[in-house]
Amino acid sequence: MRTAFIALAAIIQREALRFIRQRERFIAALVRPLVWLIVFAAGFRAALGLSITPPYQTYITYEIYIVPGLCGMIILFNGMQSALSLVYDREMGSMRLLLTSPLPRWWLLLCRLIAATVISGLQVYAFLAIAAIYGIHLPWQGYVLVLPALIIAGLTLGALGLALSSLIRQLENFAGVMNFVIFPMFFLSSALYPLWKMAESSELLHDICAVNPFTHVVELIRFALYGQLNLTALGWSALAGVVFLALALWGYDPSHGLTRHKR
Amino acid sequence: MGGLKITDVSFSYGAKTALNGVSFEVKPGQFCALLGPNGAGKSTLFALLTRLFTTRQGQITVAGADLARQPRVALAQIGVVFQQSTLDLDLSVRRNLRYFAALHGLSGAQAEVRILAALERLDMAERADERARDLNGGHRRRAEIARALIHDPAVLLLDEPTVGLDAASRRAITNHVHDLAQQTGKTVLWATHLTDEVQDSDQLVVLHRGQILANDSCATVRGDRPLADDFLLRTGAAT
């Protein structure tokens, strides 16, 4: 038991050190959502009318609407980036080093996932702090209550990255991940526009968005930021997380995953 | 009960057979050179030994523990040095070793003592606080061998550990590991395609196209011929 936590602490520390060292990665992780918030949202504010839908109790500006989606975006990018670093690691052999530890493999992978979630959480709070300086204030309880939602979001999207890293060999190319995972998940979700707005233009698009796990992750964060629990979003996010994690564990199982393909 | 035993192990990538009925045993304190040309199946065997893959055909026993049935007991007895460097180049040698110690459940003073002992054994103690990036290739390798010793494994696996090193570093590391087997009684499996890394008293396993061509002491295998000639003859004849 103690052994397991020593390993967890070491893996988190290693990821954190690596993240701090890659300063450009931290800045990029902050600039990306801030550009959306400050440039995109300002332009869109005029074009998009928002009605009062839960969890909002009053008319809100578009900037306020997209904050949860941008929190989700940070976590999504981070989950994918962590997956890429896994692939890169595996190439470099340090993933192999990790897997030679006598701890159970599922625990080692979970440690990586928890480490990535910690990094995502720090980034989201840094983003929320800058957004607050920019003038976007949320209820103060929201900043605390969003933490469990961020943890679930981090684990779910991190597990997706982990599953992809074990199942898809071509992940080395970040452009591929952008095109086939990040963009579809982000645009076909409630991150940028509410689902009812989507339904106005296309029922099909609405349905796709409604089954996208990223939508549920974003809604979980959105409600949590206003001190509310969206049980539907929680259920779907957790279910997606369990499925992604099962896929990842399968992928990293030495007897069948694609890790056995010849390098 | 140390030692490494490989019994009738086969493995294929789809239709391509990489290992075919491989069996050999390495006793404690023995330095065993696994000699084979590129593509012989050495890396596949190492992947099976470190449980990156598993196979249903054959059995691998590490210090008495069956790798398939008791993987964690077996893995705890293995120290590995991979062909490619797995050091985090931006961290100091000590931090790299600490990370690995933690993966084996060692922390605090206990880990520090073991790290220092492992580094001293490889004459690397004074470089503990240098960044891995600032070390030359030979010293990086030594740091990795030290790392593989921290948890005091019974079996040390090294997959072409001298790749890319100059002649002097290569000789120093080869000698170090030979001494290690003799002095500590660890079982060493050293994969290589370079015949000059093998000494006459070593056990020599020649692997070619997934099959074992020879398994005996190096002196017996080569007879009167230099090992390089013998190796070319064997692997050439099998072409």
> Do B66 and B98 share a domain, yes or no?
no
Interface test with B, best of A99, A100, A252 (most B CBs within 10 A): A100
> Do B132 and B40 share a domain, yes or no?
no
**Residue A111 pLDDT exceeds 50:** yes
pLDDT above 90 covers a percentage of chain A that reads 42
> Do B40 and B95 share a domain, yes or no?
no
> Do B65 and B161 share a domain, yes or no?
yes
Provide, as residue numbers in chain B, all residues whose Cβ is less than 8 Å from the Cβ of A100: 50-51, 75, 78, 80
> Do B42 and B159 share a domain, yes or no?
yes
- pLDDT tens, A125-174? 999 999 999 988 888 999 999 999 999 999 999 999 888 887 766 555 66
pLDDT, averaged across chain B: 92
Structural domain range at position B202: 1-77+155-239
Is B51 within 8 Å of A100 when comparing Cβ atoms? yes
Q: For residues A245 and A106, is the Cβ–Cβ distance under 8 A?
A: no
Three-state secondary-structure class, residue A45: helix
Radius of gyration of chain B (CA): 18
pTM, 2 dp: 0.84
What pLDDT score was predicted for residue B32?
Answer: 97
Interface test with B, best of A85, A111, A260, A263 (most B CBs within 10 A): A260
What pLDDT score was predicted for residue A173?
Answer: 61
pLDDT, averaged across chain A: 85
> Do B9 and B121 share a domain, yes or no?
no
> Do B73 and B140 share a domain, yes or no?
no
Which residue of A lies nearest to B48 if distances are taken between CA atoms? A254
Query: What is the pLDDT confidence band of residue A49, given thresholds at 50, 70 and 90?
Result: low
Query: Domain boundary at B101, B136, B152, which?
Result: B152
What pLDDT score was predicted for residue A263?
Answer: 42
User: Which tokens hold the place of B56?
Assistant: 């249903």
Distances (CA, A) of A109 to A57, A68, A99, A162: 41, 27, 9, 8
Eight-class DSSP state of A40: I
Query: Domain boundary at B122, B152, B182, which?
Result: B152
CATH at B176: 3.40.50.300
> Do B136 and B186 share a domain, yes or no?
no
Which residue of A lies nearest to B81 if distances are taken between CA atoms? A97
Q: For residues A235 and A152, is the Cβ–Cβ distance under 8 A?
A: no
Higher-confidence residue of B156 and A42: namely B156
> Do B56 and B71 share a domain, yes or no?
yes
- C-alpha B206/C-alpha B231 separation (Å) is 8
**Residue A258 pLDDT exceeds 50:** no
Provide, as residue numbers in chain B, all residues whose Cβ is less than 8 Å from the Cβ of A104: 72
Is A7 within 8 Å of B102 when comparing Cβ atoms? yes
- pLDDT tens, A52-101? 777 887 778 888 889 999 999 999 988 888 777 766 665 556 777 888 89
> Do B130 and B169 share a domain, yes or no?
no
Give the count of domains, chain B: 2
Query: Domain boundary at B110, B129, B152, which?
Result: B152
Q: For residues B78 and B157, is the Cβ–Cβ distance under 8 A?
A: yes
